[in-house]
Amino acid sequence: MISVLTLAGVFVSAAVLLLLALDSEDRTGRQSAVVFSEAVARSLLMADTDTLSDEEINDLIRWHEHDAADDVEDPTRLSEVWVFNQQARLAASSEGARSVTRSEIVTAREAMRDGGSTIVERFESGRYAGTAPLRTAEGDPVGAVRVEFQSNRIGNHFEAYRAEYLVAVVAILVALVLASNFLAKRLARPIALMVRAARAVEVGRQPEAGVAASLRNTSLTRDEYGELAGVFLDMAREVGQREVQLAALVEERTVELSEKNRVLESTQREIRNDLEMAHSVQAALVPIDLPDDPRASIAAFMTPALDVGGDFYDAFITDYGRLAFAIADVSGKGVASALMMAVGRALLRSAANQHADPSLAIAETNDQLCGMNPKELFITAFFGVIDMELGTLTYVNAGHDPPYLLRPDSGIEAIPHTGGIALGVLPGLTYAETTIPLDPGAGVFLYTDGITEAENEADHQYSRARLETQLSELIDTEPQAMVDSILADLFSFTGDAKQFDDITCLSLKFVGGPASPEPYIPGRGSAQLASGWRRMVVQPSLETSLPRVAAFVERFAESEGFAPRELYRVNLALDELLTNSLEHGFPGRLQEAQISVALRSEGDMVVVRYEDNGPEFNPLEASEQDTELTLDERPIGGLGLQLITATFDAITYERIEDRNVTTLRHRRGSPTEETPNG
Does position 636 interact with other proteins (CB under 8 A)? The reply is yes
Q: Which is nearer to other proteins, 70 or 628 (CB)?
A: 628
Q: In the set 487, 642, 653, 663, which binds other proteins (CB under 8 A)?
A: 642
CB closer to other proteins, 285 vs 574: 574
Q: Which is nearer to other proteins, 351 or 577 (CB)?
A: 577
For the CB of residue 446, give the shortest distance to other proteins in the complex, in Å.
Answer: 40
Under 8 Å between Cβ of 345 and 312: yes
Whether 43 contacts 107, CB under 8 Å: no
Are the C-beta atoms of 395 and 434 separated by less than 8 Å? yes
Show the binding pattern over residues 500-539: x = contacts other proteins (CB under 8 A), - = does not: ----------------------------------------
Q: Using alpha carbons only, how large is the chain's radius of gyration in Å?
A: 68
By beta-carbon proximity to other proteins, the closer residue of 39 and 597 is: 597
494 binds other proteins (CB under 8 A): no
Number of residues located near other proteins, criterion CB under 8 A: 33
Q: Which is nearer to other proteins, 439 or 558 (CB)?
A: 558
44-47, Cβ contacts within 8 angstroms, sequence gap of 24 or more: 44/83, 44/134, 44/143, 44/145, 45/134, 45/135, 45/137, 46/136, 46/137, 47/134
Indicate whether 627 belongs to the interface with other proteins (CB under 8 A).
yes
Q: Is 630 in the site for other proteins (CB under 8 A)?
A: yes
Cβ proximity to other proteins, 213 vs 620, nearer residue: 620
CB of 615 to other proteins, least distance (A): 20
643 belongs to the binding site for other proteins (CB under 8 A): yes
Residue 514 CB, shortest distance to other proteins, in Å, is: 35
Under rule CB under 8 A, residue 672 binds other proteins:
yes
- Residue 374 interacting with other proteins (CB under 8 A): no
Q: Does 237 bind other proteins (CB under 8 A)?
A: no
Using the rule CB under 8 A, is 572 a contact of other proteins?
A: yes
* Binds other proteins by CB under 8 A, chosen from 501, 576, 611, 612: 576
Among 127-135, 304-312, 409-417, 571-579, which window interacts with other proteins (CB under 8 A)? 571-579
Q: Which of 569, 600, 609, 666 binds other proteins (CB under 8 A)?
A: 569
Q: Which residues contact 208 (CB under 8 A, 6 or more apart)?
A: 196, 200
* Cβ at position 537, least distance to other proteins in Å: 18
- Please give the backbone phi and psi of residue 595, each rounded to the nearest 5 degrees, phi first: -125, 135
In angstroms, the CA 406 to CA 509 distance is 9
Rank residues 371 and 678 by Cβ distance to other proteins and give the closer one.
Answer: 678
Residues 43-72 that bind other proteins (CB under 8 A): none
Question: How many CB atoms within 10 Å of residue 222?
Answer: 8
Which H/E stretch holds residue 570?
helix 568-580
Residue in 432, 465, 629, 656 binding other proteins, rule: CB under 8 A: 629
Q: Residue 565 has what DSSP assignment? A: G
* 398 contacts 381 by C-beta, under 8 angstroms: yes
Residue 407 lies near other proteins (rule: CB under 8 A): no
Q: x/- string (CB under 8 A) for other proteins, residues 545-564?
A: -xx--x--------------
In the complex, the smallest distance separating the C-beta of residue 555 from other proteins, rounded to whole angstroms, is: 16
3-state secondary structure 310-353: CEEEEEEECCCCCEEEEEEEECCCCHHHHHHHHHHHHHHHHHHH
Q: Taking CB under 8 A as the rule, does residue 637 contact other proteins?
A: yes
Q: How far apart are CA 432 and CA 362, in angstroms?
A: 10
Q: What single string gives the DSSP state of each residue in 264-303?
A: HHHHHHHHHHHHHHHHHHHHHHS-SS----TTEEEEEEEE
Burial 384-421 (b: 16+ CB within 10 A, else e): bbbbbeeeebbbbbbbbbbbbbbeeeeebeebeebebe
* 308 touches 338 (CB < 8 A): yes
- Residue 576 beta carbon to other proteins: minimum distance, rounded to whole angstroms: 6
- Report the distance separating Cα 109 and Cα 88, nearest Å: 6
- Measured from the CB atom, is 523 or 637 closer to other proteins? 637
When the beta carbons of 568 and 653 are compared against other proteins, the nearer one is 568
What minimum distance in Å lies between the beta carbon of 588 and other proteins? 19
- Please say whether the beta carbons of 605 and 648 come within 8 A: no
Three-state secondary structure call for residue 564: helix
The yes or no reply on residue 542 touching other proteins (CB under 8 A) is yes
Secondary structure class of 130 (helix, strand, coil): strand
Cβ-contact 325, 312 below 8 angstroms: no
Is 356 in contact with 555 (CB distance < 8 Å)? yes
Residues near other proteins (CB under 8 A) are 542-543, 546-547, 550, 565, 568-569, 571-572, 575-576, 578-579, 627-632, 634, 636-637, 639-640, 642-643, 646-647, 672-673, 677-678
